[in-house]
Structure 1
Amino acid sequence: MTFTEVGDRVWVARYEWFDANVSVVAGERGLVVVDTHASTAAGRRVLDDVRHLGAGDVVAVVNTHAHLDHCFGNAAFREADPAVPVHAHEQALAELRDFADSGRQATYAGEPADPRDEEVRSTEIVLPDHTFSSAAVLDLGDRVLELVHPGPAHTSGDLVVLVPDARVLIAGDLVEESAPPAFGPDSFPMQWPLSLDIVLGLTTGASTVVPGHGAVVDREFVEVQRNELGIVAETIRDLAGRGVPVDEALAAGTWPWEERYLATAVRLGYEHLPRSQKRLPLI
């Protein structure tokens, strides 16, 4: 896969499997790789592609969150350099540790016929060893990277990577271009719009934003997606406040995306709302 430069010494490669983006940021002290793809084997391919850039050695890895398509390639980078630090939010570490300890890796929830099922199952989960709670800085000598946790959204442990001098923000799955945002069972649909407000505060009209999946976008795209997420949250709040039962909410609401993308969001939204904002269904 070819890396494309999207800002000064910031490259992105879009991998077909999971339609996942991997980013590389260069400084005088070396390269930072943001996300490592979905298995050890996939991580090795990413590392080969990074080496073909000829831009330097990898000095750090960042995981934007704990989902396998963003961090299961960590082991490949540790094979190449046992001392390479892996950075993540502290909650992402907790989620990934729970995943490893529970043995869920052995029951990878892919399609039964997925040809890469065994590739994922055999992957060694390498946990992040450098974590933070709100924000952290990576010093590359001639530039710094800012790691920011904007709050729970796609997961409880999301982070974004800001490259201020290049006007690039790497958003992980807080932003998705190739499909609507993914509401998994560990997502926070009522808080996601607020997290994107913080992300927007880190950008300007001249910013380039790298989503977790799909093509690179601009600030206007993020504004639109934030507003769509806001519609989802406020529609859930309105329906629950009017006493519409959760199992009728999808049919009763007007949504920005097809209902098949929103069943989990509605269920979680009802669960996460405080009792004061919910009315008992009318009989």
Structure 2
Amino acid sequence: MPDTAPRFTEVAPQVWVAHYDWMQVNITLVGGSDGLLMIDTHGSAAEARVVADDVRRLGAGPLTGLVNTHEHWDHHFGNATMVEQFGEMPIHATDWAAEHMEVSAGHAFARYEQDTEHPRREEVLATTLRLPTRTFSSAVQLDLGSRAVELIHPGRGHTAGDLVVRVPDADVLVGGDLVEESDPPSIGDDSWPLEWPLTLDLVLGLMSDTTVVVPGHGKVVDKAFVQDQRAELGVIAETIRDLASRGVPRSEALATGEWPWDPELLESAVRLGYEHLPRSQKRLPLI
């Protein structure tokens, strides 16, 4: 017999999280008297249909709104499916994420088009892009009837358009990919490694010592976990600043620095860090 147990687990009053094996993605539901708000929608139409079935199985109310934490495809390729399954609803994101989502999705489609052996190729390419309909620059409050939810852009980090979701009355914070548990946070070609630690300082300021933190990928964590991850990102940023100030060439930085993570994960961090540093903090030679 098929498993009919709800995949969504209640981590705080009327806040549920479902964890999916593909990419270790988390989907969060926040309930209020007016319905459910879904935070992120997974990475393909096919997987989003699984999520939709899980929402129905939970039976906690109608889905009335979506939030995309940033523009990367694995967090919003389910948007169109949710609208198809549950009807028209607002889709929230930062201005930056909404403006860059189409280009970012195009890069993802191109990668899967070229990777003819990938087992998920066809389902990703079959996905229809659905862009956010409501955007903001710094912060906005959503009214779920019996509960207010805050969307906050704390600064640049994983991307230039990350948002976090705060549920004050439940003491929950959904961190998107500013926080990851299943792997070290991904510092990609569109990240801001020198600013990420300060962005997390603002995020930490939104937490209490007992806040439940939902990362973009992996298990639910706490404030102490985020503090530790912030410290590691801070070491990376300060190491880049130190190497550049001593005139270590970018090509030698990964081999020269003492890094908290595998240096192979930090190629983009070093390149971007050197590019983002002002000239006053660099010393020749830096080729």
| Same fold, TM-score > 0.5, yes or no | yes
Q: Residue 186 of structure 1 aligns to a residue in which SS?
A: coil
2:12 is aligned with 1:7:
yes
Shift of residue 78 of structure 1? 1.4
1:84–1:282: structure 2 CA closer, same or farther, 3 Å change rule?
closer
Q: Which residue of 2 aligns with 1:220?
A: 224
Alignment of 1:1-283 (within 5 A): 2-100=7-105, 105-108=109-112, 112-281=116-285
Please tell me the residue identity of whatever aligns with 1:93: A
Q: Distance in 2 between matches of 1:77 and 1:282?
A: 49
Shift of residue 107 of structure 1? 3.5
Shift of residue 95 of structure 1? 1.2
Q: Residue 162 of structure 2 aligns to a residue in which SS?
A: coil
Shift of residue 99 of structure 1? 3.3
Q: Residue 270 of structure 1 aligns to a residue in which SS?
A: helix
Please tell me the residue identity of whatever aligns with 2:89: V
Q: Distance in 2 between matches of 1:282 and 1:196?
A: 29
Q: Distance in 2 between matches of 1:132 and 1:124?
A: 24
Q: Is the 8 A contact 1:110 1:117 kept in 2?
A: no
Please tell me the residue identity of whatever aligns with 2:130: V
Identity among equivalent pairs (%): 58
Please tell me the residue identity of whatever aligns with 1:158: D
Q: Is the 8 A contact 1:66 1:93 kept in 2?
A: yes
TM-score by length of 2: 0.95
Q: Residue 147 of structure 1 aligns to a residue in which SS?
A: strand
Q: Is the 8 A contact 1:177 1:213 kept in 2?
A: yes
Shift of residue 260 of structure 1? 1.4
Q: Is the 8 A contact 1:107 1:121 kept in 2?
A: no
Q: Which runs of 5+ in 2 are unaligned?
A: 1-5
Q: Distance in 2 between matches of 1:265 and 1:74?
A: 30
Shift of residue 245 of structure 1? 0.4
Deviations 1:218-238 (A, max 9, x none): 000000100110000000000
Shift of residue 82 of structure 1? 4.1
Q: Distance in 1 between matches of 2:126 and 2:286?
A: 51
- Report the number of matched residues: 282
Q: Distance in 1 between matches of 2:286 and 2:107?
A: 43
CA RMSD of aligned residues (A): 1.6
